[in-house]
Amino acid sequence: MTVYARPGAEGSVVSYESRYDHYIGGRYVPPAKGQYFENPTPITGQTFCEVARGTSEDVDAAVDAGWKAFATWGKTSPTERANILNKIADRIEENLEAIAVAECYENGKAVRECLAADIPLAADHFRYFAGALRAQEGGISELDGDTVAYHYHEPLGVVGQIIPWNFPILMAVWKLAPALAAGNCVVLKPAEQTPASIHLLLSFIEDLIPPGVLNIVNGFGIEAGAPLASHPRIRKIAFTGETTTGRLIMQYASENLIPVTLELGGKSPNVFFEDVAREKDAFYDKALEGFAFFALNQGEVCTCPSRALIASSIYDGFIADGLDRVAKVKQGNPLDTDTMIGAQASNDQLEKILSYIDIGKQEGAELLTGGERVDLGGDLSGGYYVQPTVFKGQNRMRVFQEEIFGPVVSVTTFDGFDEAIEIANDTLYGLGAGVWSRDGAQLYRAGRAIEAGRVWSNTYHQYPAHAAFGGYKQSGIGRENHKMMLDHYQQTKNLLVSYAEGPMGFF
């Protein structure tokens, strides 16, 4: 067990600056209007730094810087860009502990997740897109003996990216790596809940990236995010967040006729078929972990398995064992490597979760465990902690239909395959899903029948590069985490070339 010292405290592996400006054109510049906002840690609720409060003037400057850099960056060879991405990955690995502790402190998540998942995955993501880029080829179509169509990949130009707060670094990297690999310049707006950790990452990699290729404008959505999303000189906008803002992003994109990629969340079913409980073996143990995964990252994951569908024939035993497993989820100081569930990212997030627990009770859902805010004592009392919470109820209840984005799972039962699929698909969303069975054919059929972009089968919550991630239905548009994301950041240039000696003969 290790308890990391808080960033900036004596013995800490990392320190934040007291203030972060915008990063535009390869240097830090103060916000045009001179305003800053406070950045608290959800671990204690105390402010630890202040961050530039950007406005449209800052966004304009960042877009300008991006286009200036694009003149050369857009023409770099894939080799050159891939080498830079690989070097970025190396730097992240060399500084993994510092970046992990910094992310933990800003977001409130358990540091062991940052150490074992978020930051290693971020490094790997850069390597994946470096590799994907090197292996990417255009195409040649022979149209006739004298005529050839060549297809080239070209970057889009300057693109906008709006990043969520639940994985402040990994979600930024999911968007940055393919965009930079493809030769674009980026204006990135971090979430105002987690605006600083991306700057800390930047401090380790800044010298590797040519000025203007990556620009970071901080600020609030209404003041900095909307001007970026609606900017007439961006060529694409990528957003992870919720549906109303997603619609606004599309509205702006329609005005500028630019493409969007959107990841808007879900209400992911986690389906446990009868044969899961046939034996109390390692597989059963694995399935119980899969059930308890709703608490991973405090439930602040777009694919949180927040609906557990359990075969009614095994319900009693499975839920008893599942609750047992949930009881072993250790809650505490996020900087303690033994801690499994940390703090919710903000006070309003905490309040929203508690309001959903309230409506769940009112709707008649049975509270099986949890349901309360947690006071961890000392200065952690100012932090935002919630007990892992399990409801039993019916799928049409609001706690089964709305993304709570907290450590809350709503459990129901099903009889037979068809009812399992019917319940699983009775949702507005289709981002993630889990299915658990010892029968490979059943596993396959369920995975194909569920309307979701990612169906974890006998596993959950793995996010490796090289596996496409994105939503069906209202969960969004596009696929991240995979080389197909390169396409989302590229134009196709077709050169249609005639090698014929004479005229076509029409005129």
Partner 1 sequence: MTESTNPATIERVALTEAAADLIRQLVAAHGPVMFHQSGGCCDGSAPMCYPKGMFRTGQQDVLLEELAIDGVDEPAPFYMSASQYALWKHTHITVDVVQGRGSGFSLEAPEGKRFLIRSRIFSDDEYRSLVDAGVLTA
Residues identified as active-site: 263, 302
Query: Least distance to partner 1 from the beta carbon of 346, Å?
Result: 5
Our CB check for partner 1 shows the closer of 151 and 247 to be: 247
- Is residue 62 exposed (0-12), middle (13-18) or buried (19+ Cβ within 10 Å)? buried
Our CB check for partner 1 shows the closer of 154 and 363 to be: 363
Residue 342 makes contact with partner 1 by CB under 8 A: no
Our CB check for partner 1 shows the closer of 242 and 289 to be: 242
Distance from C-alpha of 180 to C-alpha of 489, rounded to nearest angstrom: 9
Query: Least distance to partner 1 from the beta carbon of 304, Å?
Result: 8
Q: Which stretch binds partner 1 (CB under 8 A): 79-87, 104-112, 186-194, 327-335?
A: 186-194
Residue 358 makes contact with partner 1 by CB under 8 A: yes
Distance from C-alpha of 194 to C-alpha of 20, rounded to nearest angstrom: 12
x/- letters, 28..47, toward partner 1 (CB under 8 A):
---------x--x-------
x/- letters, 310..329, toward partner 1 (CB under 8 A):
--------------------
Q: Which stretch binds partner 1 (CB under 8 A): 107-115, 136-144, 204-212, 346-354?
A: 346-354
For the record, the structure tokens of 182 come out as 């493809």
Q: Which stretch binds partner 1 (CB under 8 A): 133-141, 185-193, 437-445, 485-493?
A: 185-193
Q: Which of residues 217-276 bind partner 1 (CB under 8 A)?
A: 220-223, 225-226, 240-248, 251, 263-266
Our CB check for partner 1 shows the closer of 21 and 192 to be: 192
Q: Which of residues 93-112 bind partner 1 (CB under 8 A)?
A: none
Query: Least distance to partner 1 from the beta carbon of 217, Å?
Result: 14
Distance from C-alpha of 458 to C-alpha of 325, rounded to nearest angstrom: 17
Query: Least distance to partner 1 from the beta carbon of 342, Å?
Result: 17
Contact pick of 197, 215, 339, 346 for partner 1 (by CB under 8 A): 346
Contact pick of 428, 449, 477, 484 for partner 1 (by CB under 8 A): 428
Query: Least distance to partner 1 from the beta carbon of 302, Å?
Result: 4
DSSP letter (8 states) at residue 191: -
Query: Least distance to partner 1 from the beta carbon of 403, Å?
Result: 5
Please give the backbone phi and psi of residue 413, each rounded to the nearest 5 degrees, phi first: -115, 165
Please give the backbone phi and psi of residue 48, each rounded to the nearest 5 degrees, phi first: -120, -15
For the record, the structure tokens of 388 come out as 């892992």
Our CB check for partner 1 shows the closer of 223 and 321 to be: 223
DSSP letter (8 states) at residue 465: T
**CA torsion, ordered 390, 391, 394, 398, to nearest 10 deg:** -100
Which residue type does 180 have? L
- Work out whether strand 22-24 and strand 27-29 pair parallel, antiparallel, or are unpaired: antiparallel
- The stretches of 46-196 forming alpha helices (DSSP H) are 56-73, 78-94, 96-107, 111-113, 119-135, 170-181
Q: Which of residues 380-419 bind partner 1 (CB under 8 A)?
A: 396, 398, 401-405
DSSP letter (8 states) at residue 346: S
Residue 470 makes contact with partner 1 by CB under 8 A: no
Please give the backbone phi and psi of residue 498, each rounded to the nearest 5 degrees, phi first: -100, 130
Our CB check for partner 1 shows the closer of 123 and 374 to be: 374
Distance from C-alpha of 288 to C-alpha of 268, rounded to nearest angstrom: 17
Q: Which stretch binds partner 1 (CB under 8 A): 58-66, 76-84, 323-331, 354-362?
A: 354-362
Question: Do residues 172 and 145 lie in contact, with contact meaning Cβ atoms separated by under 8 Å?
Answer: no
Residue 164 makes contact with partner 1 by CB under 8 A: yes
User: Got the DSSP string for 128-169?
Assistant: HHHHHHHH---EEEEEETTEEEEEEEEE-SEEEEE--SSSTT
Contact pick of 86, 475, 481, 490 for partner 1 (by CB under 8 A): 475
Distance from C-alpha of 209 to C-alpha of 215, rounded to nearest angstrom: 10
Coil, strand, or helix at residue 241? coil
Coil, strand, or helix at residue 358? helix
DSSP letter (8 states) at residue 195: -
Our CB check for partner 1 shows the closer of 39 and 333 to be: 39
Our CB check for partner 1 shows the closer of 181 and 397 to be: 397
Contacts with partner 1, residue ranges (CB under 8 A): 37, 40, 53, 164-166, 191-193, 220-223, 225-226, 240-248, 251, 263-266, 302, 346-348, 351-352, 355-356, 358-359, 362-363, 396, 398, 401-405, 428-429, 474-475
